[in-house]
Amino acid sequence: MTWEKRWSLALGLTVGMLTGGMTISHAQMELHLTLPLGLERESLVLPEDNLLTRDKVELGKLLFFDKRLSANNTIACASCHMPALAFTDGQPVSTGIHRQQGGRSAPAAINRAFSSAQFWDGRAATLEDQSVGPFVSPVEHGFANHDELVAKVKGIAGYHPLFEQAFGPGGITVELIGKAIASFQRTLLSGNSAYDQFGVGGNEMALSAKAQNGFRVFVGKGQCLRCHFGFNFTDERFHNLGVDWDMDHIDVGRFAVTKNPKDLGAFKTPTLREIARTAPYMHDGRLATLRQVVDFYDQGGTPNPYLDPVIKPLNLSNQEKEDLVEFLHALNGEGWEVLPPATFPK
Ligand code: HEC
Ligand code: HEC
């Protein structure tokens, strides 16, 4: 038995004694996330009213993959956030219920444990809020309201004991569905990439010379670090790069949340971890390859009145562009590979 396990068991016993014989199981105790190399524990956003436990994570995983949680039993979260594609869907914009398409690209739902604001425009302030949003989107899970969702989950008898185990008695509510799915999502991590092995792990061999040059471009001439900084390669802020400003109809982005004209066409800086696995790119999925992304930055985005002042033509050489792309490939890591559940509650 490891020291940690022995300690947990001892704690379990103590809790049992203090509460007059009522014991809690290992699975109900706080789960200590094992972080892959390169991720920072102090940056985890773990809300006090949703202690991370094994039971919640297991329940959240079932809910994430269960297609019955849609108006016509065809769509699960995993339909658009597929484990095989680092939890994105490989499409420019996602296809939901009745094969309807939304206007935005599905982000890789990894390292969400390190962010507060979720979605391209940050409209969900917590991962708990985010986790119930898609159910009532007419182009995603297609429920008219959250009551319909709750009624459907309640109709599956096998879910009742799982909710009780995870949250205690009190029944199934939309709040608890959100807490369970958020808990599962917090376990989808990406770290221990070649970049981490090189930088944090000190393994000189982990990054090729090309990728090391690319890192220099990323930090220097490319100015990428101005927004994609820190261990998760994001400032968690919103910027206008002019991505769709060559169109008749632009997506207003962050403006829809703040109503501040300064936020017109601004979107959240996404993490760049797993980026080589999550094409196509940008909020509308218009760029098919990382080379196209680099070319887009090189030209200085698409000029518009709200363009972020940092975005300017870069005059990168072909070699610098190639090296930058090589560096981005070195951000593929591990920690998000989970298998879909083999069976679902009946
Ligand atoms: C029909 C496809 C589809 C389905 C189903 C779907 N999503 Fe998404 N997801 C998207 C798209 C598209 C976005 C971006 C929307 C936006 O930002 O406005 C997104 C955004 C997200 C984000 C935000 C990531 C970030 O970086 O901010 C998370 C997390 C997420 N989804 C998790 C879920 C969960 C949990 C479910 C199930 C309850 C779900 N999704 C169902 C397509 C889908
Ligand atoms: C001013 C801030 C800023 C700078 C500088 C910046 N980015 Fe970004 N990056 C963003 C934002 C914001 C988005 C999303 C924009 C959108 O979809 O409208 C983004 C998107 C991306 C994407 C696509 C991510 C995805 O999941 O679709 C990649 C790849 C990327 N940036 C790489 C880079 C590289 C490489 C550089 C340097 C050449 C760079 N960025 C410089 C803010 C920035």
- For residue range 172-210, list pLDDT tens digits in order: 999 999 999 999 999 999 999 999 999 999 999 999 999
Are 233 and 272 in contact by the 8 Å Cβ rule? The answer is yes
Strand partners, 101: 95
CB distance 222 to ligand 2 below 6 Å: yes
Cα dist from 209 to 90, 215, 323, 326, whole Å: 30, 10, 9, 10
CB distance 293 to ligand 2 below 6 Å: yes
CB distance 304 to ligand 2 below 6 Å: no
For the chain, the distance separating the N- and C-terminal CA atoms, rounded to the nearest angstrom, is 35
- Ligand 1 center–CA 64 separation, angstroms: 11
Banded pLDDT at 302 (limits 50, 70, 90): very high
Closest residue by Cα to atom 43, ligand 1, is 80
The domain limits of the chain are: 35-185, 194-329
CB distance 207 to ligand 1 below 6 Å: no
Banded pLDDT at 25 (limits 50, 70, 90): confident
Banded pLDDT at 23 (limits 50, 70, 90): low
- Determine what percent of the chain is predicted with pLDDT higher than 90: 89
- Ligand 1 center–CA 134 separation, angstroms: 7
Are 274 and 243 in contact by the 8 Å Cβ rule? The answer is no
CB distance 139 to ligand 2 below 6 Å: no
Closest residue by Cα to atom 2, ligand 1, is 80
CB distance 188 to ligand 1 below 6 Å: no
- Ligand 1 center–CA 6 separation, angstroms: 39
Over residues 13-37, mean pLDDT? 69
pLDDT of residue 4: 40
CB distance 243 to ligand 2 below 6 Å: yes
> Is 16 a residue whose pLDDT tops 90?
no
pLDDT of residue 2: 40
Ligand nearest to the CA of 297: 2
Atom of ligand 2 nearest to the CA of 314: 38
- Ligand 2 center–CA 269 separation, angstroms: 6
CB distance 330 to ligand 2 below 6 Å: no
pLDDT of residue 12: 36
35-185 matches 194-329 in fold: yes
Residues of 226-246 as b/e, b for ≥16 C-beta within 10 angstroms? ebbeebbbbebebbbbbbbbe
Average pLDDT for the chain = 93
CB neighbours (10 Å) of residue 279?
19
- Determine what percent of the chain is predicted with pLDDT higher than 70: 93
CB distance 282 to ligand 2 below 6 Å: yes
CB neighbours (10 Å) of residue 9?
13
Classify domain 35-185 by CATH number.
1.10.760.10
Q: Encoding tokens for residue 253?
A: 């982005």
Atom of ligand 2 nearest to the CA of 280: 27
- Ligand 2 center–CA 245 separation, angstroms: 15
Q: Which residue has the higher pLDDT, 28 or 158?
A: 158
Are 94 and 159 in contact by the 8 Å Cβ rule? The answer is no
pLDDT of residue 295: 98
What tens digit of pLDDT does each residue of 60-104 get? 999 999 999 999 999 999 999 999 999 999 999 999 999 999 889
- Ligand 2 center–CA 59 separation, angstroms: 34
Taking the C-alpha atoms of residue 118 and residue 44, their distance in angstroms, rounded to an integer, is: 14
Strand partners, 118: 124
Classify domain 194-329 by CATH number.
1.10.760.10
CB distance 179 to ligand 1 below 6 Å: no
What tens digit of pLDDT does each residue of 236-290 get? 999 999 999 998 889 999 999 999 999 999 999 999 999 999 999 999 999 999 9
Taking the C-alpha atoms of residue 38 and residue 197, their distance in angstroms, rounded to an integer, is: 8
Are 217 and 327 in contact by the 8 Å Cβ rule? The answer is yes
Banded pLDDT at 21 (limits 50, 70, 90): low
Closest residue by Cα to atom 20, ligand 2, is 282
Over residues 33-59, mean pLDDT? 97
